[in-house]
Amino acid sequence: MKIGIDLGGTTMTVGAVSNENEIIAKIETDTRSDDGAERIIERMAQLTQKVIRQVNDNSITHIGIGCPGMLDRENGRVIYSNNLNWHDVDINKKLMSYFDVPVYLENDANCAALGEYKKGSGKNFNSMIMITLGTGIGGGVIIDNKLYRGKSGNSNILGHIVINTDGELCTCGRKGCWEAYASITALIRQAKEMAQEHKGSELFRLMEREGSLTGRSIFAAIHKGDYAAKQVFNRYIKYVSEGIIDIINIFDPQSIVIGGGISQQGEFLLKPIREIVEKNIYCGKDVMPYITASSLGNDAGIIGASCLNEY
């Protein structure tokens, strides 16, 4: 048995994972990043002990952690994580003081990609690119059955390719990044603007009633057939497709897996994306990869983290 940990800025989840990559038990808790690294890692260890007791199996072989930010993977250190507000935290060493097993550290988006590749939508492919549409856009790349990491473990920053020179300001400081157009944050911004422009729309009414808009409420309006919401959807789909087309032109992958909450929209989201992508990729439909939704959801990161010993 092995342990996979998904450490996010908001939530931390610890899973006990079988050698067949099934999650046997998992516990989720708030990260409470204000507590500081020391305290968070202590709670992470307690959660791990709890999971181990739950499954009544003390024989864990290793622990894998997926974590956002810039990492020094080889030395098991978080160099900087904006979401956690961590600077230079030697997480592996600290966690190893609780458990006498190897600890592996990897970027959270890479862990999600690895999870989908091992057990989810990517499992029949030897090249796969995972794109997570969430607050930002995360990317994970599997090439030739291996996690692609670049020279310093800082590749796959897929959210920060520019699709609009001098366009929307991105959180990274650059203008026009894909993330600034195709993340859920961007969708919400686009929907709010559209609602303001169309005060007779369902979208506007929703925004007034609920005080704001969320991914969920926007999709509710789209499914209701609201004209303003549909316009937002069509433009958003185009923005999502722009980045996917770029990624296909660059990587010519076998498969693209779309993750994040929005992927629950399934074919409603994927069908129009596939149509735009197929029409616009450079080498035409003969090189069209499979584009599917994540099948593991939030479990992908846990399963992927638990597999880090192999990669």
Q: Which is nearer to its own copies, 35 or 287 (CB)?
A: 287
Which CB atom, from 148 or from 227, has the smaller least distance to its own copies?
A: 148
The answer to whether 292 touches 121, Cβ cutoff 8 Å, is: yes
Length of the chain: 311
Indicate the residue among 4 and 243 with the shorter CB distance to its own copies. Answer: 243
Find residue 4's DSSP bridge partners.
Answer: 15, 64
CA angle, residues 151, 103, 64, in degrees to nearest 5: 80
| Burial of 204: CB neighbours in 10 Å, binned 0-12, 13-18, 19+ | buried
Q: How far is the CB of 7 from its own copies (least distance, A)?
A: 20
Our CB check for its own copies shows the closer of 30 and 250 to be 250
How many whole angstroms separate alpha carbon 141 and alpha carbon 155? 9
Direct distance between the N- and C-terminal alpha carbons of the chain, in angstroms, rounded to an integer: 17
Q: DSSP letter for 289, please.
A: P
Q: Which is nearer to its own copies, 155 or 265 (CB)?
A: 155
CB nearer to its own copies: give 62 or 146: 146
Of 138, 79, 94, nearest to 5 by C-alpha is: 94
Host H or E run for residue 96? helix 91-96
**Distance of closest approach, residue 180 Cβ to its own copies, in angstroms:** 12
Give the CA dihedral 205, 207, 210, 213, nearest 10 degrees.
140
- What's the closest the beta carbon of residue 205 comes to its own copies, in angstroms? 30
CA–CA distance, 28 with 4 (Å, rounded to integer): 12
Shortest spacing between CB 152 and its own copies, in angstroms: 5
Residues that bind its own copies (CB under 8 A): 70, 127, 139, 143, 148-158, 160-165, 167, 172-174, 176, 181, 238-239, 242, 245-246, 249-254, 280, 282-283, 286-287, 289
Q: Which is nearer to its own copies, 161 or 257 (CB)?
A: 161
CB of 266 to its own copies, least distance (A): 24
| Cα–Cα dist 118/108, whole Å | 15
Q: How far is the CB of 172 from its own copies (least distance, A)?
A: 6
Q: What is the largest CA-CA distance in the chain?
A: 62
